[in-house]
Structure 1
Amino acid sequence: MLFNSYAFLIFMIVTFIVYYLPWSFFKKNQIYTLIIASFFFYAYERPLLLLLLVFSVLINSIFSFSVYKVKKQHVKKILLFGVMFNISLLAFFKYSPLIASSLAGDLSLNNGVAHFLMTIPLPIGISFYTFEGVSLLMDLYKGKTILNLQTSSFTEHFKKTAFFISFFPHLIAGPILKAREFYPQMETKYFQDIKWSNAFKKIILGFFLKMVLADNLNEITATMQYPFFLGFSTGNLVLLLLGYSMQIFADFAGYSLIAIGLGALLGYNLPDNFNFPYISSSFSEFWRRWHISLSTWLRDYLYIPLGGSRKGEFRTYINLFIVMFLGGLWHGAAWSYAIWGSMHGLALMIERFILKDKLDHNKRSAFGIAYVFITITILWLMFKLTNFSHVLAYLKAIYTNIHLPFKLGMDQISIIAYGLGVVVYHAFYLLKDTNLYPKVYPKLDVITYGCMLFFIMVNSGSAGAFIYFQF
């Protein structure tokens, strides 16, 4: 069920009304209301996949409850089995097709086995809810989450775990939640406590980024497919790539803002996922601003356990590369994603080696912003063209097609217009560092959100799935 659909609007209204009904029965069972709603939301288009989600919730509940209840000498084993369950579940459904297609010949797999592995469906949201299962186990093991297991039954713990993992605003594409931050919020919510202004601003901005900017750009960047782009001029190829860079930001940041706004309407604080990433002057700053819930998850549950920067410079470089390589693979079962993660890992390693302690994120330079943005934009090609040979063909066409004339039509004007929306969005953030901001913001606030709401109603693109649904 897409956020940008009439079905979801009806679903949200019904859920909201039932959730805040004033009678004590409904107040006591608010979490059950949201669990049922979340299961319905997940099963809306492919009901069978709900079995996998429930299975994941059940197994994570058993392992996490056992981490607390078993004797101390057995805790690490339980933790290891629980983490391996989540990783194995993700690997089986997400990477079986890649492994089968890569190794079928070497392993002499018969056609039946290879066909089965290569046709396994990818359950939507599995990358997100398996990572949250790992978060639950790790946070409980480290004692960083308030679960009150000393007074809880397994049934009560299962309820909370089901809610934590399946909460529908974040279920499909994040933000990735951490147990230690979410469990303490599980309490009765009251209609009068809703922060309406904050929630609706997030939702309006999210829908504007998605429906007006990303969906309109998507109609144009759809032409970035092999072999169609081979005949485009260098200027048109570069403009399309810039358009896709703006699209992927507007699409994913839009989803995250909608999710955060919906969570706020239901009384839950979801973490910010984007903090104006395209104004970054370094790659390390970019990863503090882009998909923040993933980058902090990788830092807390992978980079730090690997040793972080505590075991010498060489080990730090290796840890950075491993984390980004695996972060790339997390995005999808194609070697282009692994290469994308590796390139980001190399960029972080080189940046750390050259700048070391001289990197100052408080100082911003036009050259640094341009360099990071251009590099990241080129690397986005691996998301749009998952066949790496097509990525190379696109880059080659940029180099060889310089003699072709630049075509300026409605598509090119549209890329500039909608892409400019993302530029203005980031520029407005930079305005906060000036003395002009307090004078301008109060006057523009209502007008800006009113304009965005108007454009949502009159100039939305063709409704489509969010890009990160495929991850």
Structure 2
Amino acid sequence: MNYTSSTFFLFFIAVFTLYYVARNKNTQVFILIGSSLFFYAYESPQLLLVFLSSWLVTSSTAFAVRSSTLHNRKKWYASGGVAANLALLAFFKYKFLFLEPAHFNPAGHSDVGTWLILAPLPIGISFYTFHGISLLVDTFRKSAATGESRSMPHFFANTLLYLVFFPQLVAGPIIKAKEFYPQVKAKKMAEIDFNSVFKTLITGYFLKTVIADNLSEQTFWIAYPYFQWKSPMDLIVLLYGYSFQIFADFAGYSLIAIGLAQLLGYKLPDNFNFPYLSSSLAEFWRKWHISLSSFLRDYLYIPLGGNKKGELRTYVNLLIVMFLGGLWHGAAWSFAIWGLWHGIGLALERPLSQSKLFLSRHILIVAIRIIAVFTFVTLGWLLFKLQNFSEAWLYLTKLFHNEQPGVSKGALLLIAIYGFPVVAYHLLNLLRDRLGTTLKQVLYGVMLFLILTNPGPAKSFIYFQF
């Protein structure tokens, strides 16, 4: 169910109405769980079994960690739960990195094993398994405020809500267990900041429907084999267009998820902080997909030793984290290479971070660094669009050795038109304290008008595939 579809709007209106008619906390939790399970099972009911299996394993092991008084037993329960979540993710997401699907013929085999092998990727599995890991680790560290009740049914219900909460189920933002559980309480409509919700949702839907969906009509030509007949200038323009598109698509989704959660009384973490203004790769990763960066830092980079075990170990840790972070995005080696692209960039940048070039606040130097980082990041997005590495390599080859002349003026104009709001969105943030209330209201009015009059063809969110 796409968050931009009329079906979803009707679904959300029904849930919102029932949710606030019921003022009792337990009833509200029940409504959220039921509606979230319906949302999850809407397109692929059979994959609900995969999610429920993950929930049962996570809840059981987390409750055992919570209830046990022996440290070693807590450790075994937590380790087992984390391993089970990772195994589930690995089986459903990465099996075809090592298995050839053509070897499994569904016509000749109707057994459960064949169905499991050929089953489509469960939506949101990357996100709800990470939520499960967060719960287990935080519970083991005694940093998860999961409530005082020792009741197993109560704990299982809260955990089910944490894992299946539909505004962020499919593509985040990732919220840590210790940040979510304290929010599970009775909600009142009077507590909603409708002004904040309006601004968040308008911005999110504008970025997604007006910018990302319209840009997708142009960046389609990056796909193989179409790019082979484009000029080098066209290829450059298309790649920058995709950079604008993927930001608008994912930042737009994150804002929509945050706004919907606010309407239901829950606060999700910010996921983007104007990342294309970053003047270093380290800054970019503090501002892009913040919830994932925070998760990888807290649950992988720091446990590996972070930067506390010498320079060489720090570089190794960076490469490991970025490699695994890249592979988390999808079952293709191109994602792992994309992660290494950023890992190597971070490693090369690290010894320069205290140089005059990086410390200079001169506006021209900062602008050059921002453009360099944006270009580096944009080149990396090619591996997102072309997930077959040989196709991505061919694209780069054509970029430098293609004899096609000129540039498509129509495509250039449309990418400039729909890319400009992304640039303006970032630049206006620098001037946010100088913008008057009237001008801000006009801008939100213009965005709302364009949402209603100029949406692009409805496309699924790019991060839904992960």
Q: Same fold (TM over 0.5)?
A: yes
CA apart distance, 1:283? 0.4
Equivalent residue of 1:121, what SS?
Answer: coil
Question: How many Å separate the matches in 1 of 2:282 and 2:400?
Answer: 29
CA apart distance, 1:402? 5.3
Q: Does structure 1 retain, via aligned residues, the 8 Å contact 2:145–2:182?
A: yes
Look up the equivalent residue of 1:423 and give its one-letter code: V
Alignment of 1:55-454 (within 5 A): 55-70=53-68, 71-101=70-100, 119-149=118-148, 151-356=149-354, 360=359, 365-401=366-402, 404-409=405-410, 411-432=411-432, 437-438=433-434, 440-454=435-449
Question: How many Å separate the matches in 2 of 1:300 and 1:430?
Answer: 30
Q: Does structure 1 retain, via aligned residues, the 8 Å contact 2:230–2:404?
A: no
Deviations 1:423-469 (A, max 9, x none): 1101111224xxxx33x232211111111010000000011110001
- Structure 1: gaps of 5 or more residues: 105-110
Count of aligned pairs between the two proteins: 456
CA apart distance, 1:29? 1.3
Question: How many Å separate the matches in 2 of 1:240 and 1:49?
Answer: 36
Look up the equivalent residue of 1:158 and give its one-letter code: F
CA apart distance, 1:403? 5.2
> What percentage of aligned pairs have identical amino acids?
50
Q: Does structure 1 retain, via aligned residues, the 8 Å contact 2:280–2:373?
A: yes
Evaluate the alpha carbon distance shift between residue 361 and residue 466 of structure 1 in structure 2; reply closer, same or farther with a 3 A threshold. farther
Question: How many Å separate the matches in 2 of 1:125 and 1:31?
Answer: 21
Q: Does structure 2 retain, via aligned residues, the 8 Å contact 1:281–1:361?
A: no
CA apart distance, 1:361? 9.9
Deviations 1:264-296 (A, max 9, x none): 111110000000000000000000000000000
CA apart distance, 1:116? 7.1
Question: How many Å separate the matches in 2 of 1:224 and 1:430?
Answer: 32
Q: Does structure 1 retain, via aligned residues, the 8 Å contact 2:33–2:160?
A: yes
Report the equivalent of 2:463: 468
Deviations 1:242-268 (A, max 9, x none): 110000000000000000000111111
Question: How many Å separate the matches in 2 of 1:91 and 1:270?
Answer: 27
Q: Does structure 1 retain, via aligned residues, the 8 Å contact 2:204–2:255?
A: yes
Evaluate the alpha carbon distance shift between residue 466 and residue 60 of structure 1 in structure 2; reply closer, same or farther with a 3 A threshold. same
Q: Does structure 2 retain, via aligned residues, the 8 Å contact 1:4–1:463?
A: yes
Question: How many Å separate the matches in 2 of 1:115 and 1:37?
Answer: 30
Question: How many Å separate the matches in 1 of 2:338 and 2:196?
Answer: 35
Greater mean deviation of Cα atoms: 218-227 or 208-217? 218-227
Deviations 1:75-97 (A, max 9, x none): 11111101101100000000001
Question: How many Å separate the matches in 2 of 1:296 and 1:362?
Answer: 27
Evaluate the alpha carbon distance shift between residue 98 and residue 118 of structure 1 in structure 2; reply closer, same or farther with a 3 A threshold. farther
Alignment of 1:15-34 (within 5 A): 15-21=15-21, 26-34=24-32
Look up the equivalent residue of 1:342 and give its one-letter code: L
Q: Does structure 1 retain, via aligned residues, the 8 Å contact 2:353–2:359?
A: no
Question: How many Å separate the matches in 1 of 2:336 and 2:39?
Answer: 31
Q: Does structure 2 retain, via aligned residues, the 8 Å contact 1:235–1:402?
A: no
CA apart distance, 1:356? 4.8
Evaluate the alpha carbon distance shift between residue 161 and residue 362 of structure 1 in structure 2; reply closer, same or farther with a 3 A threshold. farther
RMSD: 2.1
Deviations 1:365-403 (A, max 9, x none): 011100000010011000000011111111111111255
Deviations 1:115-152 (A, max 9, x none): 87873411110000000000000111111121135x32
- Structure 2: gaps of 5 or more residues: none
CA apart distance, 1:211? 0.3
List structure 1 segments (4+ residues) > 6 angstroms apart after TM superposition. Answer: 111-118, 361-364
Question: How many Å separate the matches in 1 of 2:448 and 2:150?
Answer: 45
CA apart distance, 1:414? 1.1
Equivalent residue of 2:409, what SS?
Answer: coil
TM-score normalised by the chain length of structure 2: 0.94
Question: How many Å separate the matches in 1 of 2:312 and 2:407?
Answer: 47
Evaluate the alpha carbon distance shift between residue 29 and residue 198 of structure 1 in structure 2; reply closer, same or farther with a 3 A threshold. same
